[in-house]
């Protein structure tokens, strides 16, 4: 068993329990993750940030607790949170299966049925490394335009990840949003629901991690799952639809609600995400 002294000391300070062993966890480009075994045999995950980012940690904790309070989805328990690190109950990874994908569909339907007031959130948050504005607006069309599409379009354009013609396509879609998106009450969203933020445990149950929670249109969470490929997605969506049917034409709107994560990826990584966003936007002109 290995033991990283600095990590172990910090965990012991926060948790008041002796650390037996530590092991690094792969993945993630924002924090350094470590699996820690405590003297009572329990396992935790420490996510350490350098330099410390109190705003970043606080946003993740708010999101996790907001989702947990809904009583609908599995999220890791927050054990400790400081500006330099977040400690969560460890979830032993496993494999998904069709039956538990159906359970995830029901859980997401419940999450999206959680009563929330208005589109947005009380505080701004983060999506990956990028700031995520959450100031409330009265309609989803306005919120999606000014809080989700335009900020990341600007960021993508500033780094040269989308050309002028592509940006013009997206801006034209923004102008048409009131006629493209159906009116629905706001839903509590995970906010960054790509496949990598759905963790399947050893029993096959799904846990949601790394949220960017806010109140928005439920089709955004579902469109993101489809964009990056959730295992057994068809089974999860069938159960979701049985529980809380979506507005007619939702499949045709998937691309519209995938513009947000595509532009975020263009702003963060460049590559072909900007041109992909422009191609998707052109479908709605």
> What is the signed CA dihedral for 158, 159, 163, 169, rounded to 10 degrees?
-60
Domains in the chain with CATH codes:
5-89 (3.30.200.20), 98-282 (3.90.1200.10)
Out of 40, 165, 192, 201, the active site residue is 192
Residue pLDDT, tens place only, 53-112: 889 999 999 999 999 999 999 999 999 999 999 999 999 999 999 999 999 999 999 999
Whether the Cβ atoms of residue 124 and residue 89 lie closer than 8 Å to each other: no
The percentage of residues in the chain with a pLDDT greater than 90, rounded to a whole number, is: 92
Residue pLDDT, tens place only, 115-140: 999 999 999 999 999 999 999 999 99
- The radius of gyration of the chain's CA atoms, rounded to the nearest angstrom, is 20
Quote the pTM value. Answer: 0.95
Q: What is the 3-state secondary structure (H, E, C) of 167-222?
A: HHHHHHHHHHHHHHCCCCCCEEECCCCCHHHEEEECCCCEEECCCCCEEECHHHHH
Q: Which residues contact 177 (CB under 8 A, 6 or more apart)?
A: 141, 144, 145
The DSSP element (H or E) to which 43 belongs, if any, is strand 43-48
| Mean pLDDT in residue range 39-58 | 92
Mark whether 192 is an active-site residue: yes
């Amino acid at each position: 068993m290995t033991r990283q002294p600095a990590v172990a000391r910090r965990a012991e300070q926060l948790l008041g329990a002796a650390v037996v062993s530590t092991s690094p966890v792969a993945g993630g480009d924002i924090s350094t993750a470590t699996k820690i075994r405590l003297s009572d045999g329990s396992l935790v995950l420490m996510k350490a940030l350098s330099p410390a980012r109190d705003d970043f940690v606080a946003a993740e904790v708010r999101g996790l607790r907001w989702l947990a309070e809904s009583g609908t989805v599995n999220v890791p328990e927050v054990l400790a949170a400081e500006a330099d690190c977040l400690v969560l109950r460890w979830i032993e990874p496993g494999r998904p299966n069709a039956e538990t994908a159906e359970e995830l569909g029901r859980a997401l339907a419940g999450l999206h049925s959680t009563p929330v007031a208005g589109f947005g959130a009380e505080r701004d948050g983060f999506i990956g490394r990028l700031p995520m504005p959450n100031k409330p607006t009265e309609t989803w069309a306005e919120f999606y335009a000014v809080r989700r599409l335009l900020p990341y379009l600007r960021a993508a354009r500033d780094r040269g990840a989308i050309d002028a013609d592509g940006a013009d396509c997206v801006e034209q879609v923004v102008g048409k949003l009131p006629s493209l998106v159906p009116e629905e009450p706001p839903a509590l969203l995970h906010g960054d629901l790509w496949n990598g933020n759905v963790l399947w445990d050893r029993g096959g149950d799904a846990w949601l991690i790394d949220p960017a929670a806010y109140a928005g249109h439920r089709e955004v969470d579902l469109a993101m799952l489809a964009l990056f490929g959730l295992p057994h997605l068809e089974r999860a969506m069938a159960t979701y639809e049985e529980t809380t049917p979506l507005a007619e034409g939702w499949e045709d709107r998937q691309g519209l609600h995938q513009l947000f994560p595509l532009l975020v990826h263009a702003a963060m990584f460049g590559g072909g995400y900007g041109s992909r966003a422009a191609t998707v936007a052109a479908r709605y002109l």
